[in-house]
Structure 1
Amino acid sequence: MIADNLRYFEQQLLGSKARLVAVTKTHPVERLQEAYDAGARLFGENKVQEMVAKQPELPQDIEWHLIGHLQTNKVKYVAPFVHTIQSIDSLKLLQEIEKQAAKHGRVIQGLLQFHIAEEETKFGLSLAEAEEILQSAAYQAMRHVQIAGVMGVATNTTDEAQLRREFRELRGYFEQLQTRYFAQQPAFREISMGMSSDFRLALEEGSTLIRVGSAIFGARNYGVSG
């Protein structure tokens, strides 16, 4: 089933620039291995603890993306192996990622998370806050974090017009930052938006990373194995 679901999404992505992040939260290692065997290589986790527990049990060429809110005191646990932290929402967090990545002689990719949803509970920056970070001397001195793009979580709604507006807003932020700060940096290329329910709209609006969990792995198992 997982292999069939992955094939379906890979077909949906044909002809687009987008890659699939298989969101693996709450799913056991066996199911992640099944996804790996079917060709998945980008795995997204929301919680540090879960990612740290699963990573040693799985093949080492997996590109791990942390997509949930990250507290600065937990960065040290993922710094040895995480590929991309999609949820950067403060200079303080960036500074900690820089510090911990330096300890391991690594460069960690990061996406700036923007607040695009109507819900107040979602984390994220405004454009002004993102620019303040990028203009800071602290950021400009960093050598172990590479900002590779932007990420956003749309409102949980079936209103397509609203979702499209929010995805366009995020793409607009990406384009403004690209022009102002990253014009000479081809590595700044990711727009992470779209999930199981709204990925088609996100693709139409220029997403390069879609984050899909339940449509690959089925319903989540909270506290239930198998």
Structure 2
Amino acid sequence: MAINQAAYQELTSFCNTHNTTLVAVSKTKPVEDIKALYEMGQRDFGENYVQELIDKHPQLPSDIRWHFIGHLQSNKVKYIAPFVHLIHGVDSFKLLKEIDKQAAKNNRVIEVLLQMHIAQEETKFGLDDREVDEILNGEELSALKNVRIVGIMSMASFVDDEQQIRKEFLAAKKTFDHYAHHQVANVFMQYLSLGMSADYTIAVECGSNMIRVGSKLFGARS
């Protein structure tokens, strides 16, 4: 079994202490590894690729809460709309509208996080403060009845400088707090999804209440 059981117990204890949701990032990992972690009590799993997620979904227990954490193309939303629990990476109003449309077809309300770009790397997807403001204060948002914005997701720069990582996480926390009591029916700021295997402790110090951990649980990517 490829699961690091000691790391899982350490992480669940940490998350329970800090009232934080642990999303086990299972991308590229076999169904057997996900089952092993499920049997230890884990229910939230994160996948980056639509095809991989729709392949795994029918092979695993129905009470798993699937988080889509990768970059999601609008034309792929329909494949995960029937069952996805939370979509982390919404980086445009166009994508938000497509999620709303596909959720309506499935008679569901799909919860999403807006992805903010806080890192120095240009390669990361995400919205800046102005774009977040345009979505959350836009007149079109209230017309979307089958999507609910429940928080913010961000990734810090891949650097060793803890001060820089902390500064980036705090920028996301500031935006999250700004919209914490936003008066739009389909906005309910509940989750700040920051932190991965290398930086989750800093993320939680900075206010994160959802962490996405893969390699610490499953070992290096396949």
- Which bracket does the TM-score occupy, shorter chain normalised? over 0.9
Q: 1:182 to 1:59 in 2, by over 3 A?
A: farther
Deviation, structure 1 residue 169:
0.4
SS in 2 for 1:151: strand
> Which residue of 146, 149, 161 maps to 1:147?
149
What do residues 88-132 of structure 1 show as CA deviations (whole Å, max 9, x unaligned)? 000000000000000000111100000000000000001111111
The residue number in structure 1 matching 2:127 is 125
Q: 2:81 corresponds to which letter in structure 1?
A: A
SS in 2 for 1:147: strand
> Which residue of 24, 44, 50 maps to 1:48?
50
The residue number in structure 1 matching 2:19 is 17
Q: 2:218 corresponds to which letter in structure 1?
A: F
Structure 1's unaligned 5+ residue stretches are 222-226
CA RMSD after TM alignment: 1.5
The residue number in structure 2 matching 1:198 is 199
The residue number in structure 1 matching 2:114 is 112
Q: 1:147 corresponds to which letter in structure 2?
A: I
TM-score w.r.t. the length of structure 2 is 0.95
Identity of aligned residues (%): 48
The residue number in structure 2 matching 1:189 is 190
CA contact (8 A) 1:23 1:43 kept: yes
SS in 2 for 1:81: coil
Aligned residue pair count: 220
* Whole-angstrom CA distance in 1 between matches of 2:46 and 2:6: 19
The 5-angstrom pairing of residues 48-197 of structure 1 reads 48-179=50-181, 181-182=182-183, 187-197=188-198
Q: 1:57 to 1:182 in 2, by over 3 A?
A: farther
The residue number in structure 2 matching 1:26 is 28
Q: 1:137 to 1:143 in 2, by over 3 A?
A: same
Q: 1:31 to 1:16 in 2, by over 3 A?
A: same
SS in 2 for 1:85: strand
SS in 2 for 1:152: strand
Which region of structure 1 is more displaced relative to structure 2, 9-18 or 88-97? 9-18
Which region of structure 1 is more displaced relative to structure 2, 4-13 or 122-131? 4-13
TM-score w.r.t. the length of structure 1 is 0.93
What do residues 167-226 of structure 1 show as CA deviations (whole Å, max 9, x unaligned)? 1000001011224x25888942100000000011001111111000000001111xxxxx
